[in-house]
Structure 1
Amino acid sequence: MKNIRTRRRTGGALLGAGVLALSAWCGVPAHAAPDASCAALAPGASATAQAAVSAACAQIGVWYSWGGGHGATPGATYGYYDGSDPDSLHDDERMGFDCSGLVRHAYYQATGKDLLNGTSDDQFHSSQSSARFSAAQGTGPLLPGDLMFWGSGHIHHVALYLGDGQMVEAYESGTRIRVAPVRTGGDYAGAIRVDGSGTPTPPPAGGGATFETWGTGVRTRSAPSVRASVVDTFAGPTQVSVQCQEHAESVSAEGYTNDVWSRLADGSWLTNIYVKGPAWLPGVADCGGTDVPPPAAGSTAHQTWGTGVRTHGEPSVNAAVVGYFAQPTTVNVVCQAHAQEVTAEGYTNDAWSRLTDGSWLTNIYLKGPAWLPGVPTC
């Protein structure tokens, strides 16, 4: 059975008459009884694979639409008549997915990358696979999120494995996305694991702990503040290595409010709102428990005051946030300079101090006179 792209039809007229003899993007020979549950039904899958399963399961009940899901970016689209199946006559009226369109969408939602653009045959031969499983192996080695394929010589169907002998699939025209028992007979061709979806996150360095995030579009920051520069973005749930946590800027999101932030292995910060678990993560050290190092050569130690004090990449409140002091602390000042004038806490001052990490702090929040005695000009 051939599986190739055809042209879209516009205004009810099919472009390219030769496509009428072609088979569907995804066709299967036999019906299977659906199962109402849809989730990762077995342990062992990575956060990425579980996120792909969740994204596919979120489409349960959406129409199968031949050619659906193959727009410029992943997501449901209107399909078109496949040229042979009467059930496909209304696919151009149905917003949905075909089998490969659903898989493409699921992993795009999980990774933020369009890893699986193409037909089910393209996906079967994708360079994004990190492991392959033959038809003879059945479902024994499979994990939730693995892609199962059907076709003899040319692949014509794909589904996402859920575990426990179940899969989620966009089946054929006239049906809706569903859960069904796996089919490993007939022309079942085997399975692949998408690159990275079956590889556990390595143990965190420095005595931290691994936690799962939740939500989409979650950002990590260079400091524990939503105003700090973005370091990374998680398109979907993932695993992170938490080194320590501390009370810092209070954040309200997703119906929660929390002032606890976790410092990750790469030095970035993530509000604990998006880390699965209680507001204060069990077994994770307090970042504030480490003494301030002695002043480096050419610097002097000074005490800050106030709460929620930020340092910046330049001597300006408009510059990127580098550090965040939830409580008074000791800082090492290298030099000071007249720069942007700041008014805060009833004071106005244009003096800024450069700290040993290269960041800048308005002298308003340093105990002492407006211009620090004994500190050179930068």
Structure 2
Amino acid sequence: MTHTHPCRLAIWAAAVVTAPALALAVPIAAGAAPAADSCGVLSSGASAAAQAAVQAACSQLGVWYTWGGGHGATPGATFGYYDGSDPASKDDGSRRGFDCSGLTRYAYYRATGRDILDGTASDQHSSPLAVQRFSAGQGAGPLLPGDLMFWGGGYVHHVAMYIGAGQMVEAYESGTRIRQTAVRTGGDYAGAIRLAASPGNPPPPPAGGGAVFQTWGTGVRTHNAPSTGAGVVDDFAGPTQVGVICQEHAQKVTAEGYTNDAWSKLSDGSWITNIYLKGPAWLAGVADCGGTPPPSGGITESTWGSDVRTHSAASTDAGVVDLFPGPTRVGVVCQEHAQKVSAEGYTNDAWSKLSDGSWITNIYLKGDAWLAGVPGC
């Protein structure tokens, strides 16, 4: 919370999809009064959804704070990135976790089954779902478990979840882990909100693998092939969660001010243009279906291993661009000698530039240390 800028500048086009962190919730027996230092619903009066959100937030105690974490296309822990100012943030690219608003987003997603809190702490403070607002001068007295508390003088930069009995759960700052702590209502405390939310359950992962993404817009159609001229399979009247199995480059589509040739295959076998999926033009962490041609002037290679990251420059210290949970086909344009990396028992200074402009150490590409047939950059 020591940052003066927003805890997360959330832009869904930069999303990364990962699995939620391991649950560590402390269950509360019906009718039992929890101890003051336990994490759970510590006072009465909260709605069922708010209580479920508290339990979800408590389940992440001990998970890393990471700048930008938790803002993938589907709520859940993600690798973060260096914020450019705080030395403690330099390790965030190698830590899977949440920033402050990523944690509260995830908690209410687990509680409601809907992604109702995407965005920065400032965005959440302005949520149209707020049914009651509390000023800084009111302190924590009127708060109920599940209420969101905010900090920021002039611009909200931090959010935490009140859990009752003068306690809250927060993702605080780089170099720390998600924690339960006493509430703070001094300094630049900016008040709190209470959300109107109904309990529900997030959808399970799609059968056969893949990840859950959310559509946006209205009247969005899926097709029986990756083309707007193919037969219509489904029509979504509003935002809908769908299971994405893989993606490939196919028909170029222009809609809603965007142009993209990437299409995703859904778990029911239908196809949707990536324009209508929350996420980057080419979805992070989603495998190629095998129909993507090699990039101009390069070749298609396969990665190996799990949780392999690409970077904005040929260095592990550069910002993380993408994360591949498993082997993935990528387009390699060129390669060069740069930072020497040791990983998985190999040492190599060769890096490959991919068709999206990101870089990957050749250690995680199947092939020789210096790829045959790929030109130097």
TM > 0.5: no
TM-score normalised according to structure 2 size: 0.45
Asked which structure has the greater CA Rg, the reply is 1
TM-score normalised according to structure 1 size: 0.45
